[in-house]
Structures are given as structure tokens and as C-alpha cells.
Chains A and B, each alone.
Chain A
């Protein structure tokens, strides 16, 4: 039996594990953790086997589909893009689950934890495997739900409950855009077929969607005076969804707060997997973006800006996990930036960006797990209370150092020597340079370079503040158990080596994502639709350009070293509430105030209170007024009945007289 036929098990096994663990986990060993671990391990094996098969024949993608209801289907598609994602997600998820065995061992709700993470993994795998946009959206939402549940895992903490809500709501804004995108897309398809959808074809399958790109891009609507193609609208709406899920500006606000969940959750969801769903979405629908270069530019700018913007905040955070959270946002920004270069480099944009995504998953998971290890041992997340942790936790320190180097992108250009982050990030920066050369627009490139400097600065600041120097408080920790350090070490190996080993193969593998049995899209053709040319020839940039990212990385290291290790500058003067720049950064550009207090509370809640007033006072007031008025009239009229019989007689007689006159008048009028 071919392994492909088992593909459906990949998301199903973790889902089953969720059911079993959720309902029966409490009575099992370690909260039933072994069931999800086993399930994910099998999924991981299947994924890797399929990926290996696929590496041989990239055209023979796995595609299975069944009818769902109405005009919709459920299906599985494993092409190179999905394959690498699958392997990465199952693998990282597996490691993190194993790590959590130790990390969560004392938590009373651990069976719930493992159930939810299993569900999360299933949902994420569902996102990756979907062969149609709607199924992708469904799993996408489930991922959001799991994130909500896991961020709010310690629900008794008000801050955790609030963070969970914020995460769900913020991503929901993006989701609505995504859904709108699907709706607009469907109506576009509907129009293409003139209202007669062909029988037996599921129009929301990617293959069908991509086939209709030319027609969609030919449809134009006018919005606010601009003539925009339908395709641009759809892709921008899809990107809106990605912005929410992948924490891009301005919907990134939930991600730092999401650190309220257990650290393993942060590692799993908010670093390695879930947040990359947005990037994956853009990559998955990349042919559509290719047909709409305007949308790609937006992707690039948003990504680039986010990369820079988030890293500025990373510098001033004192919470170890928050630094990493901003780092995640920033790195996701890089990936978007990379994708946004598609209008120049074509499929290579997907390659570099996905490459960074995979590498980032390894080193960011590692960073979080190391941080978790530190927190587990030290009992605080505030770096100001740490210091000198490296001495008591050597393995953690070393793995953390590797991860930091990878994040900062240390390596030697032109060779295969370097951390994995180096290869992928450099590749992105190189493509931005290509873009700049080609279009004369240097802004994305500048974003990338400056962000790289800041990245290096904040991550080494974290390293110095946490692991070096003397303990600033009396915490008394110890090295974590093996069940935690072994996953760390495995991840460290990947963080260090994966990039260098797979660099070339990876790109080639992804290059053919959209050219196979299931879907065949010609990038050149799309470029024609979008009115631009594709450029080939990355890697032929001037030496200076190749070295610049490394140089700024080292510069960042030096800056941190001087300030946080050597303490050449007295930080207390800068770190002060009177310093407006620091204040701005520390308060995260007042996003909380803007999003929560202004938009959520003042405007939305205010509007709803006005509605409540209308309901109670005006609508109900009218209704109650009618009833009260009637009763009052009744009370008045009944007094006419005085009880004196002559008055009754008078009424009769007057009635007769008046009736005669009235009738006379009416009859005469008639």
C-alpha cells in the first residue's frame, strides 16, 4: 500500500488523540500525553515519507478529494510546499510535545493541555493539507480556536483570559477579511461561469481558482475612485487574513500578549507553526498574488515595516518571552517581505520565504524552549531579575546561543558555513536588493537591513542580560531534566545545520510547487497579466551586499556587548520614563491604548451603549408608552360613569341627538 493513501491520517491521528486525551486523559499516565505524542510521531513519519517520495517526483503530488455538501468538497493536497510544511510542523510539534512532558509535568490541567495541543496540531496540519480555500479557512479558524484555548490555558489568571480573548478577536478581524476574500472570489467565479457553475467541479479548489486567474484579473471594480481588479481585491483580502494570523502590522498586537500561555505553547504556536499559517496562505495562493502585483507590493511593505517596527520594541522589553514574541513578529515580517518580492523574482520568493519559515521554526522554537527552560528553573520571566543563568544551565545556554546566532544570521557569505537563519535571511535581503535594483525602490531593502541590526541587538541583549553577569536576585535554579534538554539539543542541531545543508535543494523543490498533476501555473504568464518582468539571477550581487547583513549582525552583537555586558553606557539615563523615545517604545507605541481603550472600549462599546439606549428608551419607550397611555385613558373615561342614573339618561338622549346630526352630515356628504 502506498504511503500516499495514508495521507488522510496525518491530521486525523492528532484529532483522534485530542478526543481520547480530552475525555479520558485524566486517568492516564502523565495526563494521557503519550497518545498525542504517538499520534504526532506517526503523522511525522508519514509526512516525512511522503516528502521523500515527492522529492523524487515533484509532479506526482498527493491529491484526494471527497464530496462534502452542495458545491463543496473536502480534500487533501500534498505538493512540495505542503510537504515541507507538514514535515516541519509534525517534527517541531513532536519535539515540543516531548519537551512539554517535562515542562508541564506538575500542572494539574496537563491532560487538557495535551488534548488541546493535539487538536492544534491537527488543525494546523489541516490548514497545510487543504486542497481548497474553504477547507483551509475552516482549519485556519480551528487553529485560532486552539490558540485561544491555549493562551487562556491558565484561565484563572485574568491576564491570560484577557490575552486569549484579544488574540482571538484580533485574528478574527483578519479572518473576516479572509472570509470576505473567499466570498468575493466565489462571486467572481460565479460571474465567470455566468451563474452556471459546472457540474462535478469544485470551484473553490486551488486548481480551479488558479485556472481562473486571468478572468478574475480582467474584472474590474471601482472603489473610492480607483479602478481595481477583482484579483487584487481578493488577494488583498486574503493577505488581510494572513496579517491577522501572522501578526503583521497592524494586527500584531495580540502576539506579545499571547505569551500568557505556557511557554511550550508559545514555542509551538506563536513561534513555529500557527503564526506561519499566514505566510503559508500567501504562499499557497501565490499564483493569485502573482497576477496582482499591486497586492504583492502591499505584502512587501507591510512585511518590511513589521520587521522593523517589531524589532524596535524588542529592544526595550524586559520580559524574556516578550522579546521573543516581538522577534517572532519581526521575523514573520521578513517572510512577508520575501513573498512580496514575487513581482520580481517569481517563485523564488516563495522559496526564500518558506526557507526562512522552516529555519525560523527551528530556531524560534529553540529560543522559546530555552526561555521556557530558564523560566521553569528560575521562576520568573523578568530578565532584570535574572543574570548569570548560563552558569547553572549550561546546556540551555549553549543551545540558546546557537539559536541566537541563527536568529541574528551569523555565517560566512559565499560558503555553506553559517547558521540556518543566516542562509534564509540573507536570501530574503538579497531578493530585496534585486528588487531595489530592478525597480529603483530601495525601501524594502532598507527595512530589511535596519531590522537585521536591531534583531541582532535585542537578541544579544537578551542573552547578556539573562545568562551572563551575576545573579540579580536570589532565584536558585538548576538545569532542566533530560526530557527537556534532549529536544533542545535536537533543535539546536537543526538550527545550526539545516539551512546550510538544504539551501539549494529546498529552493529547487519549491520552485515547482505549482507545476504538477493537480495544478499547472506558468509564472511567466502571470507576470504578463500583471504587466511586469521576472528576473533570475540571485546570488550575483556585489560582495558588499552579501556581507552587509552579517556586518550589521555583528554590529548588533557589539552594541549589546558594550551596553549590557561591559556597561559602557549608563542605562538608567535612557531607561527612564522621561525619555519620550523609550516611553514610546516601552509602551509599544501605545497600541494597547489605541486598540483596547479607544477602538474596543470607547467606540465599539460606546456605540453598543447608544444602541442599548435606543432599545430601552426609544423603541421600548414607544411600546410602553402606548400601553401606559391606553390605561391612563381608560382610567379617565371610566370616571364618566358617575353612577347617577340621570347622567346615563342624558348620555342616551344626547347620543341620539348627536347621532342624528352626525348621520345627517355624513349622509349629506355622501
Chain B
């Protein structure tokens, strides 16, 4: 008998989303604020349910859905990110009459990501992928009066559909050679795929499809534009949440389904990892828009995580998985800080342009000490300075790289994280060392709560990593069967 309780998080979220959608029809703009709280509570409930089901390992619905440590881990990542974004969005959507659409789409995209995390069948995976993509296309264009937001949505959409098509094309070959869409089924029959040239084609197309979400170079080019143009809370969702969806899908497909083709994709990921982190960091240095800088930094971070594919030891996978969790907190936090600063700039001057420009961070330590401190922790975490989540994850990931003998890869990664310090430290410099251009501002409470939660996440993982490392290892075990 199928245990439907295991799908409770998804069900709860769906119900909440529908409820919000319906409630939106009846609520006046003034009262729509409450929808955000509802969404937040829904996510919190889903989070609790997911954590409650951590130790499960079951497949449901004719083997199309699997609930295991990996899926639960990633679901926690997705729900946490959405929760943080939701909390922050309570302020962002304040007074917006489309609040209901916003939260509905946000929850839908979360459901999509969760479905991907649990997918044990290519069809489920693809549909989940599209759910998350389609919702976020709309969310990226949420500020429809803002040409930048629309441009971001358009670019995201076009490259997204291109990638979907590539992925589907790749999937079709996999299906053709193996005769099934079930991931364990593919794993059984992948021998033929590995023996034929089409296997390589399929692998690369899948990499392109997932690489789009992960923002691996050269499939990353939409990312900086979209992150910069989209509403900042949505950038957070994209960078911290939907990017991870690419990773979990790739983990499942490559590690489990296409494990026999590992010589192909291991090399591919090694190459892409190196190019990605180097390009991301190098280009980030010369950015003046903080959002764009974070976007490139996010590209670079994807490069680090991609190392896990190239190394493919349990330790490396655990490192990569832990990294996604850490990165979720770090990146969400950083983007939310940018959002707060944007809010501050707009409240200073209604017609401000370039609200995400680095200059707006000048003297932030004096204007918003808490935010500035949090941002400092986030960027230091991103560059891997202890005792933060970023450090622990990098520590495990890079050390396992050395363990597996890919010293050159570890050296490049480590040099890259030193390089990244250059632009991260610049943000800190702007916040702490340059004179402020305005008085003290108090952060809106929702933003503050979200940022503090993210900060707590980053520091807790950094200081007490044991449970997280344990979970990540459990999740990695799923992949190493």
C-alpha cells in the first residue's frame, strides 16, 4: 500500500497554493498581505513534514517516485530557500494587488523542484522540471512594468526552452536505447547506451539541459542577465533553489541511471567545472552591479559543486550535496541583502536607478549594521572562510578531490576561491570602509527575519556541521548503490 503521507509536503504545498489562489480572488489588495504568511506557514509545515520523513527509503506509484535521503535532503533545501524567499517577499509584495499570483507561482515552483528531487522516472523528472521552470519564467517577469524584469524573463524563457528541448532530445535517445523511462530501468539497460556513440550525444544533451539550470559555462549566459533583471527575491530563488534542482536531477540521472557512462560525463564535468569556476570568478571581479556580481559568483559556485561529479567518491558527493545546502543559505541571504539595500535606496529616492549598484553599499555598516554584518558573513562564507557553512562544504569537497588524486582540479578550485575573495572583500570594503551617504535605516522586519534565518543557517552549518555532514553522507549513499 502506498504511503501517501510521504507525499504530504507536496500535497500541503499544493493545497496552500490553491488556497492562496482562491483567497486572492476575494481579498482586497490591503489584506493580501496575509497570503504571504499563509504561504510561509505552509512551507514551514512542509519543512517539518519533510524533516520528519528523513530516514525513509521507499518508492511509490509504480516506481515513479522515490523518497530517500537524497530527495529529502534536497527538498529541505528547496523548502528552506522558498521559505526564506517567502518571508522576505511578504515585504516585497506589500501593497501589490498580485500578491496571490506571486505566492501561488512561488509555491508551484517549489512543488516542481520537490517533484524533481523525488523523481524516479524521466517523465516525472521532465514534468517537474517544466513546472519549476514555467512558474519561475513568470516570476522573473513579475515586475511587468520594468523593462529589465521583462527582458530577464524573456532571456530566461528562451534559453530555458532551448535547454528543455535539448534535454528532451537527449532523453529521447536514452529512451530509445534502453526502452524505458524509469531511472532504475535505464540503469539496467544502460550498457548498450555506453557501447554506442549515441550515448555520448545523449549525455552531453542532458548536461546541457541540466547545465542550464545549474548555470554551467557555456550554458550560463542567461543567468547573469536574469538574476540582474528579475526581482531580487526571485533572483534568490533562482540562484539558490532552482539551480539546485539542476543538481539533484543531474545526480539522479548521471549517478544512478547513467552510471556506466561515467567516463564520459566525469570528464565533461571536470572540464565544465574548471571553465565555470574560473570564468565566473574572473568576470565577477569586474562587475559593478552587486546582483550581477552575485550571479557570476553563483556561476562559479556551480563550478565548485560540479567537481563532485568529476570526483564521484562518496565523500565528494557528500561535499557537493552539503555544498548545495550551504550555498542555498549563503546565496539566498546575499540576494536578500541586496533586496534590502534596494528597498533602502528606493526609500531614499523614489526614482533611483541602478539600485543594485555597488555604490549603494557604501557605508552600509553604519546605515544597517545587522544587514552589513550578515552580508559580510555571507560573502566570506561564499569565499570559503571559516567558520561558515561555505568553509565546511569546500573543505569536504576539495579535500575529497585531493583524495581521489585530482590534485590539479583541487588546486584550480582553491586558487579560484582565493581569487573570489577579491570581489567579495570589495563588497565588505564598501560596506565597512567607505563613508555612508545617508542616515541609519532600520530593515523591514520580514527582510530582517529572513536574513537572520539565513545567517543562522550559514553559521550553524559552519560551527556544528556534524548532523549536516551526516545527512549529506546518507544522501550520497543513495547515489553510490
The yes or no answer to A3 lying at the interface (CB within 8 A) is: no
> Assuming A652-B162, A652-B218, A667-B200, is B207 touching A659 (CB within 8 A)?
yes
B224 touches A641 (CB 8 A): yes
Chain B residue nearest in CB terms to A659: B204
By a CB distance below 8 angstroms, the chain B residues around A635 are 286
The yes or no answer to A622 lying at the interface (CB within 8 A) is: no
> Assuming A634-B283, A635-B286, is B218 touching A667 (CB within 8 A)?
no
A627 touches B219 (CB 8 A): no
The yes or no answer to A1 lying at the interface (CB within 8 A) is: no
**In chain A, residues 627-659, which have Cβ atoms closer than 8 Å to a Cβ of chain B?**
627, 630-631, 633-635, 637-638, 641, 643, 645, 647-649, 651-656, 659
Chain B residue nearest in CB terms to A630: B282
CB distance from A639 to the nearest CB of B (A): 10
The yes or no answer to B268 lying at the interface (CB within 8 A) is: yes
Q: How far is the CA of A57 from the CA of B189 in the complex (A)?
A: 110
CB distance from B271 to the nearest CB of A (A): 7
Chain B residue nearest in CB terms to A652: B219
**Which of the residues B221, B225, B267, B282 comes within 8 Å of A634, measured between beta carbons?**
B282
The yes or no answer to A670 lying at the interface (CB within 8 A) is: yes
CB distance from B385 to the nearest CB of A (A): 19
The yes or no answer to A66 lying at the interface (CB within 8 A) is: no
Q: How far is the CA of A641 from the CA of B284 in the complex (A)?
A: 12
Residue numbers of B with Cβ under 8 A of A are 154-155, 158-159, 162-163, 166, 197, 200-201, 203-205, 207-208, 212, 217-219, 221-222, 224-225, 263-264, 267-268, 271-272, 279, 282-287, 419, 422
A652 touches B271 (CB 8 A): no
B286 touches A649 (CB 8 A): no
A651 touches B267 (CB 8 A): no
Q: How far is the CA of A652 from the CA of B267 in the complex (A)?
A: 18
**Which of the residues A651, A659, A670 comes within 8 Å of B221, measured between beta carbons?**
A651
Where chain B touches its partner, the secondary structure class is helix
By a CB distance below 8 angstroms, the chain A residues around B207 are 659
Q: How far is the CA of A635 from the CA of B163 in the complex (A)?
A: 28
B200 touches A663 (CB 8 A): yes
By a CB distance below 8 angstroms, the chain A residues around B205 are 656
A663 touches B267 (CB 8 A): yes
Chain B residue nearest in CB terms to A632: B286
Where chain A touches its partner, the secondary structure class is helix
B283 touches A643 (CB 8 A): no
By a CB distance below 8 angstroms, the chain A residues around B159 are 645, 648-649, 652
CB distance from A268 to the nearest CB of B (A): 57
By a CB distance below 8 angstroms, the chain B residues around A662 are 271
By a CB distance below 8 angstroms, the chain A residues around B264 are 663, 667
By a CB distance below 8 angstroms, the chain A residues around B222 are 645, 648
**Which of the residues B204, B267, B285 comes within 8 Å of A666, measured between beta carbons?**
B267
The yes or no answer to A660 lying at the interface (CB within 8 A) is: yes
B283 touches A631 (CB 8 A): no
> Assuming A659-B268, A663-B264, A664-B200, is B283 touching A649 (CB within 8 A)?
no
Q: How far is the CA of A641 from the CA of B158 in the complex (A)?
A: 16
By a CB distance below 8 angstroms, the chain B residues around A648 are 155, 158-159, 221-222
9 smallest CB-CB distances across A and B, nearest first, come from A655-B218, A648-B221, A634-B286, A634-B282, A651-B218, A634-B285, A638-B283, A635-B286, A645-B155
A645 touches B200 (CB 8 A): no
A660 touches B166 (CB 8 A): no
Q: How far is the CA of A641 from the CA of B204 in the complex (A)?
A: 23
B208 touches A655 (CB 8 A): yes
By a CB distance below 8 angstroms, the chain A residues around B200 are 660, 663-664, 667
Q: How far is the CA of A651 from the CA of B225 in the complex (A)?
A: 15
CB distance from A669 to the nearest CB of B (A): 10
Q: How far is the CA of A631 from the CA of B212 in the complex (A)?
A: 26
Query: Other than the known A645-B159, A655-B208, A664-B197, what 4 A-B pairs have Cβ atoms closer than 8 Å?
Result: A638-B283, A638-B287, A648-B155, A648-B158
Residue numbers of A with Cβ under 8 A of B are 627, 630-631, 633-635, 637-638, 641, 643, 645, 647-649, 651-656, 659-660, 662-664, 666-667, 670
Q: How far is the CA of A618 from the CA of B256 in the complex (A)?
A: 52
By a CB distance below 8 angstroms, the chain A residues around B225 are 641, 643
**Which of the residues B162, B166, B268, B282 comes within 8 Å of A637, measured between beta carbons?**
B282
Q: How far is the CA of A567 from the CA of B267 in the complex (A)?
A: 103
Show 23 residue pairs from A and B whose CB-CB distance is below 8 angstroms, ordered by the A residue. A630-B419, A630-B422, A631-B285, A633-B282, A634-B282, A634-B283, A643-B225, A645-B222, A648-B155, A649-B162, A651-B218, A652-B212, A653-B162, A655-B208, A655-B217, A655-B219, A656-B166, A656-B204, A659-B207, A659-B272, A663-B267, A667-B267, A670-B263
CB distance from B267 to the nearest CB of A (A): 5
CB distance from B258 to the nearest CB of A (A): 13
By a CB distance below 8 angstroms, the chain B residues around A651 are 218-219, 221
**Which of the residues A638, A652, A666 comes within 8 Å of B286, measured between beta carbons?**
A638
By a CB distance below 8 angstroms, the chain A residues around B282 are 630, 633-634, 637
**Which of the residues B158, B268, B285, B422 comes within 8 Å of A649, measured between beta carbons?**
B158
CB distance from A37 to the nearest CB of B (A): 59
Q: How far is the CA of A441 from the CA of B204 in the complex (A)?
A: 97
By a CB distance below 8 angstroms, the chain B residues around A645 are 154-155, 158-159, 222
By a CB distance below 8 angstroms, the chain B residues around A656 are 166, 204-205, 208
CB distance from A627 to the nearest CB of B (A): 7
By a CB distance below 8 angstroms, the chain B residues around A654 are 218
B267 touches A660 (CB 8 A): no
A663 touches B268 (CB 8 A): yes
Q: How far is the CA of A627 from the CA of B279 in the complex (A)?
A: 15
By a CB distance below 8 angstroms, the chain A residues around B162 are 649, 652-653
A663 touches B155 (CB 8 A): no
Looking at B158, B204, B272, the one whose CB has the most chain A CB atoms below 10 A away is B204
CB distance from B39 to the nearest CB of A (A): 32
By a CB distance below 8 angstroms, the chain B residues around A638 are 283, 286-287
Q: How far is the CA of A634 from the CA of B423 in the complex (A)?
A: 12
CB distance from B468 to the nearest CB of A (A): 33
By a CB distance below 8 angstroms, the chain B residues around A667 are 200, 263-264, 267
Q: How far is the CA of A654 from the CA of B283 in the complex (A)?
A: 21
Chain A residue nearest in CB terms to B271: A662
Q: How far is the CA of A386 from the CA of B203 in the complex (A)?
A: 106
Q: How far is the CA of A660 from the CA of B284 in the complex (A)?
A: 28
By a CB distance below 8 angstroms, the chain A residues around B422 are 627, 630
CB distance from B218 to the nearest CB of A (A): 4
A660 touches B201 (CB 8 A): yes
By a CB distance below 8 angstroms, the chain B residues around A633 are 282
Q: How far is the CA of A572 from the CA of B267 in the complex (A)?
A: 96
Q: How far is the CA of A566 from the CA of B314 in the complex (A)?
A: 108
Chain A residue nearest in CB terms to B268: A663
**Which of the residues A637, A663, A664, A666 comes within 8 Å of B283, measured between beta carbons?**
A637
> Assuming A641-B221, A655-B219, is B286 touching A631 (CB within 8 A)?
yes
CB distance from A664 to the nearest CB of B (A): 6
A660 touches B221 (CB 8 A): no
By a CB distance below 8 angstroms, the chain A residues around B287 are 638
Q: How far is the CA of A655 from the CA of B275 in the complex (A)?
A: 12
By a CB distance below 8 angstroms, the chain B residues around A641 are 221, 224-225, 283
CB distance from A633 to the nearest CB of B (A): 6
By a CB distance below 8 angstroms, the chain A residues around B218 are 651-652, 654-655
Q: How far is the CA of A74 from the CA of B284 in the complex (A)?
A: 65
Chain A residue nearest in CB terms to B217: A655
By a CB distance below 8 angstroms, the chain A residues around B158 are 645, 648-649
CB distance from B363 to the nearest CB of A (A): 24
A652 touches B204 (CB 8 A): no
CB distance from A452 to the nearest CB of B (A): 74
By a CB distance below 8 angstroms, the chain B residues around A630 are 282, 285, 419, 422
Q: How far is the CA of A645 from the CA of B151 in the complex (A)?
A: 10
CB distance from A61 to the nearest CB of B (A): 64
Q: How far is the CA of A638 from the CA of B166 in the complex (A)?
A: 26
Chain A residue nearest in CB terms to B423: A634
By a CB distance below 8 angstroms, the chain A residues around B286 are 631, 634-635, 638
Chain B residue nearest in CB terms to A644: B155
Looking at B154, B221, B282, B283, the one whose CB has the most chain A CB atoms below 10 A away is B221
